[in-house]
Amino acid sequence: MSVEINKQGDVAVITINNPAVNALGHAVRAGIADQIAAANADAAVAAIVLTGAGRFFSAGADISEFGKASQEPILPAVCQAIEDSAKPVVAALPGPALGGGCELTLSCHARIALATAEVGLPEVKLGLIPGAGGTQRLPRLIGAKAAFAIMLDGEPLKAKKALDAGILDAVVESDVVAAAVAHARSLAGKPLRRTGALTIPAEQREAFEAAATAALKKDPESPNVPALVDCVRAAFDKPFAEAMAFEREQFVKLLKNERSIALRHVFFAERGAARVADAPKDTKARNVGKVAIIGAGTMGGGIAMSFVAAGVPVILIENDKEALERGVSRVAGNYDFSVSRGSMTEARKAELMGRIDGRVGLEAAADADLVIEAVFEEMTVKKDVFGKLDKIAKKGAILATNTSYLNVDDIAAATARPADVVGLHFFSPANVMKLLEIVRAKHTAPDVLVTAVALARKIGKMPVVVGNCHGFVGNRMLARRSQQVERLLTEGALPQQVDAALRTFGFRMGPCAMSDLAGLDISWRMRKATGQKAPVADALCEAGRFGQKAGRGYYLYQDGRTPTPDPEVEQLLAKVSAAQGVTRRAISEEEITQRLIYPMINEGTRILAEGIAARSADIDVVWVHGYNFPRWRGGPMHYADQVGLKHIAERLEAYSKATGDESLAPAPLLRELADKGGSFAKGTPGG
Ligand code: NAI
């Protein structure tokens, strides 16, 4: 039985019992509706309590029913039956009431929760809106502005906060069902407060509209925020039943909306990406109390900030005193900036700085449980550090490298304990960027990976476990895009056209402005050292155009920060084209977009075929969190599925032929999927 009934005197207690989270599948919905009707028909029952068995009240909709036709009774009808009940219904929350679970409680006549419970409407994170009266009942219950903020944020409220907000009527430390039974009994025979019958005072309108305008501006491409706004407006303007029908209509529309589907895809991909393929289920994480970071440069400092913000003290290690002081004061400078903007207090800064123990010499890593190396990107330097660490670090310590490109197997080989070596590829700025590529080398032990995932979560990062190859997942795909930027600029496009195309696609910044921001000189020096060429970027650097910091790069920065197109760059491009015997031509925005995005997808296909990424969705998480790929497009691989792999393969083929660039030819797996009508999400039909 997924819904149970028992009587405590004249109070009927209806218990949702559908492990593990009391999801509101069809049987549960029908069970609640039946029991509410039965309790109303039973003369011996004076009042009703609705609760959940186990740790949850209910975590909401049964996601396995997503995308299927909904079976009656649908949740809004069950909620209505509860609200219309002639006998009082009190919700007793032993734990979280989320999404549809929360909406069930909103239709009850009162709500009592254990202090450890939480309530929330997280639908916005799934590209949806509450669809069972949440957008109507919550504003009526607690006010439009407060309700909108909660629904827009999607984060659950702890019981105490929910009580203060007016969502809960009482919070108890124990025996929540007993408290609810007593309260229900006290309501019997009295007029009931039916949430749907409340009205929202018109004077709340202005404050809500201001919040709505800000939200729409912040997330202009969102499919569901406008719907949420419209539903709350309906709560002001329409009679309850009509407004409920409007909410339902919006909800059903979103279920089929491409952007909403993409947001759902990313939501579930984020949960899946940290899974360590083939690690036994009972793999235990190693205990990590002490963390040492080697190298207090750009990355080392940022990584240290990530740990101390999460309350984990770090030992920050440099070669010499000067470098250490420089590194530590750079971190302090970062905090000072936050203090000056008012987003951090001096006291908090002192607390965080107090967790950073700066030391000179690798010996300081001796008792660390995790050592993260972030020294120069040079194999000889890395090997030297790992060789020494092997002698210094304690047994069982995890030895991690933050390398962006280098072979983690080779780094591990400098130690006698390759099973303890892993790549932890943070992104810059490391205290801000969410992505963490956890690089699994040939000998990396499963418990090392499991530990890395747990730690990533602890410090608020988004972990994705990837395989070992040049550039791993993200940078390897990025290289394909960078290659095309070079070619497009050589063939006739201008930086502003290239950037505009990707901004139209949904990136916040185009690749040229991005390179200017990062500085062009570092990769130029790297290319010179390795004998590689990038004619346009090389020419810019030779002209001293190192990017924003130099006041000139792909653009001119007259005020130091605003990119403006520069005629000098146009002349420089003309020279590069001429030197390569290329006649410049006008290139359409469509071609620019496709030539920047499709080759990345092509490389993603190779990454999949090689098993560097376990799932195409993992690649999407990397791009959404590491490179600002528009979330509402679902990541490159999801986007490819939506556009159709056949189209992508055909365009790549055509561009490859037209430009003579063989790197653009569709990868074998892409060709195969395209030919068979397959997709990244589903593979090949029947295969
Ligand atoms: P950086 O040059 O800013 O910092 C490196 C620091 O390591 C310097 O302060 C240097 O004094 C120190 N160092 C060098 N050898 C050392 C040794 N034997 N012992 C202790 N300290 C030593 O370099 P950055 O940018 O922080 O990069 C570090 C690593 O992170 C590289 O492997 C890089 O590829 C990787 N990375 C860099 C990203 C970026 O955007 N800058 C992004 C992701 C990874």
438 burial (CB, 10 Å; 0-12 / 13-18 / 19+) is: buried
User: Is it the case that residue 526 has pLDDT exceeding 90?
Assistant: no
For ligand 1, atom 12, the nearest C-alpha belongs to 295
Give the pLDDT score at 687. 55
Nearest-10 Cα torsion for 170, 171, 175, 180: 20
3-state secondary structure of 685: coil
* Angle of helix 144-153 versus helix 225-237 axis, rounded to 10: 160
Q: Please report the beta strands in 340-471, taking only residues with DSSP state E, as ranges in sequence order.
A: 356-360, 370-373, 398-401, 421-426, 435-440, 462-467
Mean confidence (pLDDT) of the chain? 96
Report which protein residue has its CA nearest ligand 1's atom 20.
Answer: 318
Q: For atom 8 of ligand 1, which residue has the closest CA?
A: 297
Q: From 462, 464, 476, 467, select the one nearest 618 (Cα to Cα).
A: 464
Quote the CA–CA distance of 477 and 605 in Å, as a whole number.
10
Distances (CA, A) of 173 to 13, 115, 117, 321, 339: 20, 6, 10, 54, 39
Binned at pLDDT 50, 70 and 90, residue 684 comes out as confident
Mutate to test the pocket of ligand 1, among 293, 294, 298 (most ligand atoms within 8 A of CB): 298
> What separation in Å is there between the alpha carbon of 377 and the centre of ligand 1?
6
Atom of ligand 1 nearest to the CA of 323: 11
**CA atoms of 187 and 97, how far apart (whole Å):** 22
Question: How many of the other CB atoms lie within 10 Å of CB of 77?
Answer: 14
299 C-alpha to center of ligand 1: Å? 6
CA distance 532 to 529: 8
Tell me the pairing of strands 118-120 and 157-158.
Answer: antiparallel
Whether residue 130 is preceded by a cis peptide bond, meaning omega within 30 degrees of 0, is no
Average pLDDT over residues 67-86: 94
Cα distance between residue 345 and residue 113, in whole Å: 34
Q: What is the pLDDT of residues 345-363, one digit of tens each?
A: 999 999 999 999 999 999 9
Question: Can you give the pLDDT at residue 537?
Answer: 98
Query: CA-CA distance, 394 to 455, in Å (whole number)?
Result: 19
Could you say which DSSP state residue 561 is in?
S
Both tokens of 518, joined, read 């990062």
For the residues 287-294, what does the mean pLDDT come to? 96
pLDDT of 442 > 60? The answer is yes
Residue nearest to atom 4 of ligand 1 (CA): 297
Tell me the two tokens of residue 585: 């031509």
CA distance 645 to 625: 24
Among 293, 392, 402, 517, name the best residue to mutate to test ligand 1's pocket (greatest count of ligand atoms within 8 A of Cβ): 402
The mean per-residue pLDDT over the stretch 136-163 comes to 98
Q: In 10 A of CB 239, how many CB atoms?
A: 11
- What number is the ipTM of this complex? 0.97
Q: Going by CA atoms, what residue is nearest to atom 19 of ligand 1?
A: 319
Strand order in the sheet with 435-440: 356-360, 314-318, 291-294, 370-373, 398-401, 421-426, 435-440, 462-467
Please say whether the dihedral angle defined by the alpha carbons of residues 308, 313, 319 and 322, taken in this order, is positive or negative: positive
Please classify residue 267 by burial: count the beta carbons closer than 10 Å to its beta carbon, then call 0-12 exposed, 13-18 middle and 19+ buried.
middle
* DSSP annotation string for 183-200: HHHHHTTSPP--GGG---
Of 357, 367, 369, residue with least CA distance to 317: 357
Q: Is the separation of the CB atoms in 95 and 117 below 8 Å? A: yes
C-alpha to C-alpha distance for 58 and 31, rounded to whole angstroms: 14
CA distance 139 to 232: 7
Q: What is the mean pLDDT of residues 82-97?
A: 98
Cis status, amide bond into 565, omega within 30 of 0: no
Pick from 32, 43, 41, 42: nearest CA to 5: 32
pLDDT class of 68 with cuts at 50, 70, 90 = confident
Distance CA 597, CA 96 (A): 41
Contact (Cβ atoms closer than 8 angstroms) between residue 161 and residue 117:
no
Copy the structure tokens of residue 20: 């593990």
Looking at the predicted structure, is the pLDDT value of residue 686 above 80?
Answer: no
DSSP codes joined into one string, 493-520? --HHHHHHHHHHHT-SS-HHHHHHHH-S
State which ligand 1 atom lies nearest to the alpha carbon of 317.
Answer: 20
For 119, the enclosing helix (H) or strand (E) is strand 118-120
Contact by Cβ (8 Å): 300, 278: no
Hey, whose CA ends up nearest to atom 22 of ligand 1? Answer: 295
pLDDT for 597: 98
pLDDT of 681 strictly over 90 = yes
DSSP line for 129-163:
---SSHHHHHHHHH-HHHHHHHHHH-PPEEHHHHH
Strand partners, 158: 118
CA atoms within 13 A on the CB side of 183: 24
Tokens of 448: 């090392």
Look at ligand 1, atom 36, and give the residue with the nearest C-alpha.
404
Q: At what angle do helices 240-256 and 134-142 cross, to 10 degrees?
A: 130
Assess whether pLDDT exceeds 90 at residue 66.
Answer: no
pLDDT reading at 201 higher than 80: yes
Q: Is 567 exposed, middle or buried (0-12, 13-18, 19+ CB in 10 A)?
A: exposed
Report residue 277's pLDDT band, with 50, 70 and 90 as the boundaries: confident
Active site residues: 103, 123
CA of 291 to the centre of ligand 1 (A): 17
Q: Is 127 helix (H, G, I), strand (E, B) or coil?
A: coil
- Calculate how far, in angstroms, residue 382's C-alpha sits from the geometric centre of ligand 1: 10
pLDDT of residue 508: 93
Q: Residue 664: which region, alpha, beta or left (left: phi > 0; alpha: psi -120 to 50)?
A: alpha
Domains annotated on the chain, with CATH: 3-255 (3.90.226.10), 291-469 (3.40.50.720)
Name the residue of 322, 390, 404, 515 whose CB sits within 8 Å of the most ligand 1 atoms, as the mutation to test its pocket.
Answer: 404
Beginning with the edge strand found earlier in the chain, give each strand of the sheet holding 47-52 in spatial order: 3-8, 11-16, 47-52, 89-93, 110-114, 170-172
Mean pLDDT of 409-424: 98
Confidence band, pLDDT 50/70/90 cuts, at residue 273? confident
Taking a C-beta distance cutoff of 8 angstroms, is the pair 652, 664 a contact? yes
**How far is ligand 1, taken at its centre, from the CA of residue 328, in Å?**
14
Tokens of 376: 């120069």
Q: How far is the CA of 562 from the centre of ligand 1 (A)?
A: 29
Q: Which pLDDT tens digit goes with each residue over 454-477?
A: 999 999 999 999 999 999 999 999
Residues 6 or more apart whose CB falls under 8 angstroms from that of 532 comprise: 526
Give the atom of ligand 1 at the shortest distance from the alpha carbon of 326.
Answer: 9
Do 61 and 99 contact (CB within 8 A), yes or no? yes
Confidence label for 329 from pLDDT (cuts 50, 70 and 90) = very high
Reported as a single tens digit per residue, the pLDDT across 555-614 is 999 999 999 999 999 999 999 999 999 999 999 999 999 999 999 999 999 999 999 999
CA 452 – CA 434 distance, rounded (Å): 14
User: What is the atom index within ligand 1 of the atom nearest the CA of 373?
Assistant: 29
Tens of pLDDT along 554-567? Answer: 999 999 999 999 99
Per the CB < 8 A criterion, the answer to whether 114 and 173 are in contact is yes
Helix (H, G, I), strand (E, B) or coil at 62: coil
Pocket lined around ligand 1, Cβ cut-off 6 Å: 294-300, 317-319, 323, 327, 374-377, 381, 385, 402-404, 426-428
Judge whether 266 and 635 are in contact, CB under 8 Å.
yes
Residue 374 CA to ligand 1 centre (angstroms):
4
Q: Residue whose CA is closest, atom 43 of ligand 1? A: 427
User: pLDDT grade, residue 317 (50/70/90)?
Assistant: very high
The percentage of the chain sitting over the pLDDT mark of 90, rounded to a whole number, equals 95
CA of 608 to the centre of ligand 1 (A): 29
Whole-number Å distance between alpha carbons of 287 and 245: 52
Beta strands 97-98 and 157-158 are unpaired
pLDDT band at 276 (very low <50, low <70, confident <90, very high): confident
Portion of the chain with pLDDT greater than 70, in percent: 100
Give the model's confidence band at 431: pLDDT under 50 very low, under 70 low, under 90 confident, else very high: very high
pLDDT at 274: 79
299, 382, 517, best to mutate for ligand 1 pocket (most atoms within 8 Å of CB):
299
Using CA atoms, how far residue 563 sits from 497, 567, 589, in Å, is 13, 13, 20
Higher pLDDT, 372 or 529: 372
The ligand 1 atom at the shortest distance from the C-alpha of residue 299 is 26
Distance from the CA of 548 to the center of ligand 1, in angstroms? 22
Distance (angstroms) between ligand 1 centre and the Cα of 319 equals: 12
Whole-angstrom distance, CA of residue 537 vs CA of residue 507: 21
